[in-house]
Structure 1
Amino acid sequence: RRRPRTHCLVSASLFCAADPASLAMIKLFSLKQQQKDGEAMGNKPTSQKRASAAQLRITKDINELNLPKTCQMEFPDPDDLLNFKLVICPDEGFYRNGRFVFSFRVSPNYPHEPPKVKCDTMVYHPNIDLDGNVCLNILREDWKPVLTVNSIVYGLQYLFLEPNPEDPLNKDAAEVLQSNRRLFEQNVKKAMLGGYVGATYFERCLK
């Protein structure tokens, strides 16, 4: 009988306390069983191998995570490591005391292509547009298979510490940051408190 789904919250301390070898072996056993079941149902082994490689690699990435204190990960389905959330709560800079949620979707081709990452929290930011698309170079042309989830976490955290107006998705926010940092700071606070910045309404996202 399949056990009921639970909401799983994972922090850096939990990963440090867990035995990475045990976690990897448990997941490996599960993946091998899935492969056997797939072969028994006549699935092509090539596609199964590709999916298994992505799951094995993401398991390794998660076991080796070294999250900063301002970040935590959530797994809505603990059995699905290919879809998870990252919560960033900056403790300095323009976005201090905010709470920003990102969704990660890992493809079967991982790590040969980067995860798809979107910001679920509407934020006034030059590098994140109002639809949640994120402008981070390692999620695009600078991605390499040697990079990990940890690399992306630190990249996203850095966007909140040092927003980059030179490579914007939200051009209005970028122009304000370049021309009037004081006004940019006020706009960020308005958005985080919940309210209008210009004609755009932002929901409250303070901790």
Structure 2
Amino acid sequence: MITLRGKLKKSAEVGNTKPRDFNKRISVRDKLLVKEVQEMEQTLPNTCQATFDNPNRLHEFNLVIIPDEGYWLGGKFLFHISVPEEYNMIPPKVKCITKLWHPNINEDGDVCLSILRQSSLDGMGWAPTRKLKDVVWGVNSLFTDLLNFDDPLNKDAAEQFSKDKETFKNKVREYVNQYARR
């Protein structure tokens, strides 16, 4: 099993980092993330891939989603996930890097998903019992069954869907072809 203390000690031994006091207090977040990242990687949906630019910074990673059904089929969407120091009392921050036409993701990349809210009207907001795998599965589900046109972040996309589904579908395809081609 990988431990953060073990990773840091091994890095120091091979000269990758400055010597550290390994008895120094490791944050609760970092202790949780060692286990949660392993669990997340073992349970990733087949449409997702998580990548870490720096394996010593488990609190910053990218998630690639390649939907295998629905409106966004054929696209490849990149999300950046940042886990704050106050985790697990505060949810991770998720930003969509790929521009897309979606009712729950605006063109700035902000994501509207109950699990990412401190408190939500539907009672499905963040709770300390939630884990990274829940966030990944939730973001992935925005491309299938959690698609929500009733509480949109991108009101124009939701309105377009309700008025003319074919025009909505065409605009989604246009965005996929322009910004999210595999």
- The residue number in structure 2 matching 1:192 is 176
The C-alpha deviation readout for 1:113-146, integer Å capped at 9, x for no partner, is 0011100111100100111100000000210011
Instruction: Indicate which of 18, 21, 36 corresponds to 1:36.
Output: 21
Match for 2:48: what amino acid?
C
- The residue number in structure 2 matching 1:13 is none
> 1:37 Cα shift?
6.1
Q: TM-score, normalised by structure 2?
A: 0.84
- The residue number in structure 1 matching 2:99 is 122
- The residue number in structure 2 matching 1:157 is 140
Superposition CA RMSD, Å: 2.0
CA contact (8 A) 1:28 1:56 kept: no
1:101 correspondence with 2:78: yes
Instruction: Indicate which of 125, 131, 141 corresponds to 1:148.
Output: 131
CA distance in 1, matches of 2:110, 2:53: 21
> 1:77 Cα shift?
1.1
SS of equivalent to 1:81: coil
Larger radius of gyration: 1
1:60 correspondence with 2:35: yes
Q: TM-score, normalised by structure 1?
A: 0.74
- The residue number in structure 2 matching 1:139 is 116
Higher relative contact order (CA 8 A, sep 6+): 2
CA distance in 2, matches of 1:128, 1:35: 41
Aligned identity (percent) is 38
Aligned residues: 165
Select the structure that is richer in helix.
1
CA distance in 1, matches of 2:81, 2:66: 17
Q: Which runs of 5+ in 2 are unaligned?
A: 13-18, 120-124
Q: Which runs of 5+ in 1 are unaligned?
A: 1-21, 40-47, 195-203
CA distance in 2, matches of 1:147, 1:133: 20
